[in-house]
Amino acid sequence: APSAVMAESGGGSGRGPPCLGAASAFRPWEQLRRRAATPWARGLLAVAAGLGLLYAVLRVPVRLRDGVAAVTVFLSTLTPKFYFALTVTSSFISGLIFVFEWWHFRKYGTSFIEQVSVSHLRPLIGGAENSPPAPAAFSAGENETSRQNMPECKVWRNPLNLFRGAEYSRYMWVTGKEPLTYYDMNLSAQDHQTFFTCDTDALRPSDTVMQKAWRERNPQARIKAAYQALELNNDCATAYVLLAEEEATTIVDAEKYFKQALKAGETIYRKSQNCHSQSPQHEAQLRRDTNVLVYVKRRLAMCARKLGRIREAVKMMRDLMKEFPLLSMLNIHENLLEALLELQAYADVQAVLAKYDDISLPKSAAICYTAALLKARAVSERFSPETASKRGLSTAEINAVEAIHRAVEFNPHVPKYLLEMKSLVLPPEHILKRGDSEAVAYAFFHLQHWKRIEGALNLLHCTWEGTFRMIPYPLEKGHLFYPYPSCTETADRELLPTFHEVSVYPQKELPFFIHFTAGLCSFSAMLALLTHQFPELMVIFAKA
């Protein structure tokens, strides 16, 4: 018997003794559930529910009738001044909401009420929508095809970016407006750390100081660090680069610093070439020294272009492209195109386009619009829309119009700047291809070349809007290029200054809540006006 008790109580096993109090507590609820399941209990519950429903049917109309009577008495005591104040207040509040919605849409491109409802209210009301499950795996061909069809929204370094101290800072001193955004300057700081630093900088005190200087946010701290690096090593090329970019207040001063940087950079580059095969660290140092040398030579060519020595600038750019042919991603050919256009060497421009306007190479607004400019140059002087409508377009005119349509499809923001329908600002240090930032950068430097060719802007004015009749809408697919990416507006707002009105394509329709608040404000204002003019009639209408 004791062993049986031990077995029942769990002795000798890993479990504890059963809780008798919990079992006894559940017994009354179990008995109640069993009794409620009997037929007579169900009938009793049905009778109680029927009595409750009968009470509600008999009692609610009485309360409703009393409530309606009370509201009627309250409305009968209201004066016309109350209705006027009510309508004016309603119109004022809806007007404020309308103004805020319009401002939010113009600044951020979305409706504030819609954004709040989607982000916060929908999860509370309906919960998160179940998204369809992603496929487990793709084949290599499908993955490659999807990657090719995906529109690119990559931010690129502006090949024609201005000088911080000699141009951007002077603009800020004159206008009091900051031409560069924090996002743009932060991207430049990342570029400088990538191009001008390497793992072996810790072995040289001057490069260690410059490594910290490129991470500094304060311009004065960066300049001070550059001077500290020159005190440690008078041949520190990156220190001269920083002083040329940020301390020099004129292009002449910047060119002097870059010439010192070139002298130091060539010496360091030759040393790195002799020992680059010794270790991976030396190879990384050679890449860094190559980046510094290419950057300095390019900026020296840009200084020569800005100072009017255009042929010298063209020669420096050609030599640089021959010496470092693998660095085509730096888009030095766009600097060369602009300089050749300034020389009006259109045959040389066509030769550069024949090399870089290839289907396998990434396009840019400079390539597409320069190709359109050369074809427009052949027909623009004698082009007349009235004559063309009567006799039709010639082959050369058709080629020019198609080139313009191709350029506009690639970047639809450029024509408004070339035709001076929108005001220009200083171009940012980074651009988004096919975006408004690229359009600003192109028009800033190339508007003078379009003006120089007689009739080119007239031909552009007459034909550029015809591009949008050829592009399918909605933009599910492009005509000559990939579909226009939807991410350009957000990136352009980060790259361009706040005082610039960002161009948006395709134009977004006004959100529903802007129409709703505008209609509500107008309706309330009309009621307020009628109440003020015909108070007695509006009171009778409200009571009815």
Per-residue pLDDT of the chain (544 residues; tens, 9 = 90+): 444 434 344 444 444 444 444 444 445 556 666 666 666 666 677 777 777 776 666 666 666 676 677 766 666 666 777 777 877 888 788 788 878 877 777 666 667 777 676 666 556 555 444 444 333 333 333 333 333 343 456 888 999 999 999 999 999 999 989 999 999 999 999 999 888 888 887 788 888 999 899 988 898 999 999 999 999 989 899 999 999 999 999 999 999 999 999 999 898 888 888 776 667 777 888 888 899 999 999 999 999 999 999 999 999 999 999 988 877 777 899 999 999 999 999 999 999 998 887 766 668 899 999 999 999 998 888 777 777 777 777 888 888 888 898 888 888 899 999 999 999 999 999 999 888 999 999 999 999 999 999 888 988 888 887 666 655 544 444 555 666 666 778 888 889 998 888 887 756 556 667 777 778 778 878 877 877 777 777 767 766 6
pLDDT digits (tens, 9 = 90+) for 196-212: 888 887 788 888 999 89
Question: What contacts 417, CB < 8 A, 6 or more positions away?
Answer: 424, 439, 440, 442, 443, 447
Q: What is the CA radius of gyration of the chain?
A: 37
* Contact between 532 and 65 (Cβ < 8 Å): no
Q: What is the DSSP letter of 19?
A: -
The two most distant CA atoms of the chain are separated, in Å, by 121
- Residue 345 confidence (pLDDT): 92
* Contact between 206 and 233 (Cβ < 8 Å): yes
* Contact between 410 and 368 (Cβ < 8 Å): yes
Structure tokens belonging to residue 168: 């951007």
* Contact between 470 and 396 (Cβ < 8 Å): no
Top-level CATH class of 181-325? mainly alpha
Q: Tell the burial category of 279 from Cβ atoms under 10 Å away from its Cβ (0-12, 13-18, 19+).
A: exposed
Task: Output helix, strand, coil percentages for the chain, rounded to the nearest 5.
Answer: 70, 0, 30
- Residue 144 confidence (pLDDT): 38
Is the previous residue joined to 362 through a cis bond, with omega within 30 degrees of 0? Answer: no
Q: How far apart are CA 502 and CA 479, in angstroms?
A: 24
Structure tokens belonging to residue 485: 């990416």
Domain extents for the chain? 181-325, 356-509, 515-543
Question: What contacts 154, CB < 8 A, 6 or more positions away?
Answer: 432, 433
- Residue 125 confidence (pLDDT): 55
Question: What contacts 409, CB < 8 A, 6 or more positions away?
Answer: 467, 470, 471, 478, 479, 480, 481
* Contact between 227 and 210 (Cβ < 8 Å): no
* Contact between 235 and 264 (Cβ < 8 Å): yes
Is the previous residue joined to 135 through a cis bond, with omega within 30 degrees of 0? Answer: no
- φ/ψ (deg, to 5) at 151: -65, 145
234: amino acid identity, one letter: N
Q: Select from 482, 333, 469, 345 the least CA-distant residue to 401.
A: 469
Which alpha helices (DSSP H) does 179-236 contain, by range? 182-196, 205-213, 219-232
